[in-house]
Amino acid sequence: MNHLTPKEAAQFLHDNPSALFVDCRSEMEFFFVGHPAGVSHVSWNDGPDWEVNPHFVGEVRKLAGHSGDRPVVLICRSGNRSVDAGQALEAAGFTRVFNVLHGFEGELDDTHHRGSMSGWRFEGLPWEQC
């Protein structure tokens, strides 16, 4: 798995328009916190029990057009869940998996807030909120 900063990921997506961009956070995070513009959503795990989505790989494979060679860029809140999701994709035969470091919201700061140090939103990259 390759790791990209948010700005590197945005440039990679721009340079590789066939790449699939997947937000693997929960549905609530995706809709209420916001998400990168143009991203697809497939939860890696979700409430109420936060169990891993047993259909994650199949849903991503469907979005990828059943091709394990299509680049897949994964983003989550802070870049941790997307690593687990990426490892599952690689185990299923995906060969070009990329993780967005620091995710959408970034790391926690000294006051336990996100978005003040790193992340997609912090970098001023395009995002939307429902």
pLDDT digits (tens, 9 = 90+) for 103-123: 999 988 898 888 888 999 999
**Alpha helices (runs of H) in the chain, residue ranges in sequence order:** 6-15, 27-28, 56-63, 81-91
For the cut 90, the answer to whether the pLDDT of residue 17 exceeds it is yes
The backbone region for 103, taken as left when phi is positive above 0, alpha when psi lies in -120 to 50, beta otherwise, is left
Provide the pLDDT for residue 48: 86
Pairing outcome for strands 40-41 and 45-46: unpaired
- In the chain, the amino acid numbered 85 is A
Task: Tell me the pLDDT tens digit for each residue of 34-92.
Answer: 999 999 999 999 988 999 999 999 999 999 998 889 999 999 999 999 999 999 999 99
Determine the pLDDT at residue 128. Answer: 96
| Among 45, 52, 39, CA closest to 27 | 45
Enumerate helices (H) and strands (E) in the chain, giving the number of each.
Answer: 4, 9
- Report the 10 Å Cβ neighbour count for 7: 13
Q: Name the nearest CA neighbour of 126 among 3, 9, 4.
A: 9
Distance of alpha carbon 35 from alpha carbon 111, whole angstroms: 23
Quote the pLDDT of residue 66.
84
pLDDT at 130: 82
More confident residue, 48 or 10: 10
Q: What is the pLDDT of residue 9?
A: 98
What pTM was computed for the model? 0.95
Q: What is the dihedral of CA 41, 42, 46, 50, to 10 degrees?
A: -140
pLDDT of residue 116: 81
